[in-house]
Amino acid sequence: VRIIPGLKQSQIPDIMRGEETQILGFLHKNPDFEGVMCFTGTHTKWVKIGGGEVIFFETFMTGEMFDVLSNHSIIKFAASSGKINMNEAKEAALEIFNKPHKFSSHLFKLRANNLLNHSPATETRSRLSGYTIGLEIAGSRHFWLENNVIIVGTDPVAEIYSEVLKKQGVKSRIFLSNELSLNGLKVTYQSLLND
């Protein structure tokens, strides 16, 4: 049994466990890639890639923040269940991207809209998801601005990221995380066989 070590960043503290395997899988098939990879999820990672290696990365607790807000805050009463409506989430992501300073105010509006207008939980969850993603994308501008962007994740969520970036004039490509993980594990296995 072998364990693939993660990455650490000491000067600006951050850690990565798992995404490095996906990066390896991607770079094996795209060795000349220069740009940014965004790994969506509970702890989204934005990773600057150059010269075939990781230059810098930053983690955003977007998925965890969504979970905490939807299950452990006053919003939980308005967002207790329901699927995410991707169009609603995209709209909300763009709204907060353009006004990130309004994030906490918009959170309370979700609760108020439910109380006053009986908005369905699906709408509240969708907007909450969009708000957290839009806030992250606004905060990660230094990564994606004027860069090639690869989004790694599941289709519905990755589409929100792609749509917000598209509205900013940034083209992105989406890759599925499980495919990149498998590619990275294959590359690692081959290197172990060759040692």
Domain boundaries, the chain: 34-49+56-186
Q: Look at 103-112, 129-138, 149-158 and tell me which has the smallest mean pLDDT.
A: 149-158
pLDDT for 77 beyond 80: yes
For the CA atoms of 39, 49, 21, 164, what is the dihedral angle to 10 degrees? Answer: 10
pTM as predicted: 0.93
For 14, the enclosing helix (H) or strand (E) is strand 14-16
Q: How far apart are CA 176 and CA 27, in angstroms?
A: 14
For the domain covering 34-49+56-186, report its CATH number: 3.30.420.310
